[in-house]
Amino acid sequence: MIVVKRLAAVGVAVALIAGALFARDQWLEGDDSGNEQSNAASVLVCATELAAICAQVASSYPGVTIRAANVGDSLNELADDEMWFTFTPFPEIITQMRERSRQPERVYSTQPIASSNVVLVAFPDRTEALTATCGDPVAWRCLGEQAGSNWADMGGDASWRDVRPAFAPLHSGIGRLGVASAVAGFFGDAPIDAGDPSFTTWARPLARAVPATALSSGTAVATIEVRPSSLDVAIGAAAELSANGAARFAVTPVSANTRIDLVLATPTGAEAPSGLAAALSTAALAAGWLATGSPAATGEPPDANTVVVTSQVWEDLT
């Protein structure tokens, strides 16, 4: 009987020790405490245009390394385990690029952060001349036809000289989305045909009106705020314009109504730190972006194929 009791006591002790070890492991993995995520991604790459938004949340996530990179570079250089704060549809483009080159699959889950629209930003007097000729919203075809001509041809002041519209550089997300909107606006419902002579005639002056080297502040909208002498019409996201800029410039929609959606993209197998998407959304709204689903952010983002094709066409033109 004593032996039986001793064996039973030993069994209970072993069970208690095993239970304690299991509980310790669970606590270390963060399964019960909720303080840690064992598969949380630790690097966040922010599209260059969104770096200021990322800076607003950095102090709340000391365990996350945050760096900025151009969208064009990230498409080829983003690591398998890195999160990406970027624009729709660039995460999908990476997936497609890897499939075409027969690289290991990489698929992203995306969380919506905020939205805006592709717009034209110009001084009110130039906007008045532009909309009188090209309509409101401004027709892309008309804007391209006027690029390089004198403002007097549209009823403006001849002293303004040539009409100089500008996109953000093609290595930027906003640049590629602006170009996609313009090319889609030219072709309308017809397929994009880069070999169409009328398209080349229309696109070349629009693409070359302002060299990327003249955009001292990175994008067209950021540049027109600080160096308006560099260009006349900035093409970009409405959210880029600061409160001071909004008081000085007019914002005009364009005919191919393109919405710009910000997303937090996380590769399959990893998980974004808890609350990161909400923190980015709060910072984006404070910076002038609109809440996802806002009726003010109308239209749709361009699809992945349109962005890839139009970016290549534009690169060949410039």
Short-list 220, 198, 218, 194, CA closest to 209: 220
Residue 204 has a pLDDT of 96
Q: What is the CATH number of the domain that holds 173?
A: 3.40.190
Rounded distance, CA 31 to CA 25, Å? 9
- Tell me whether residue 31 is in a domain: no
Q: Mean pLDDT of successive 10-residue segments in the chain (318 residues)?
A: 36 38 37 52 97 97 97 96 98 97 95 98 98 97 96 96 97 97 94 94 96 93 97 98 96 95 96 97 98 94 96 92
Question: Which pLDDT score is estimated for 37?
Answer: 58
Q: What is the pLDDT of residue 35?
A: 41
User: What's the pLDDT at 21?
Assistant: 36
In a domain, 29, yes or no: no
Residue 47 domain flag: no
Residue 284, domain member (yes or no): no
Residue 88 lies in a domain: no
Three-point CA angle 117, 122, 124, nearest 5°: 115
Residue 193 forms part of a structural domain: yes
Tally the domains of the chain: 1
Give the distance, in angstroms, between the CA of residue 176 and the centroid of all CA atoms in the same chain. 9
Per the CB < 8 A criterion, the answer to whether 122 and 250 are in contact is yes
* pTM over cut 0.75: yes
In a domain, 175, yes or no: yes
Do the domain assignments include residue 21?
A: no
pLDDT at residue 40, rounded to an integer? 84
Domain extent for 213: 117-260+299-317
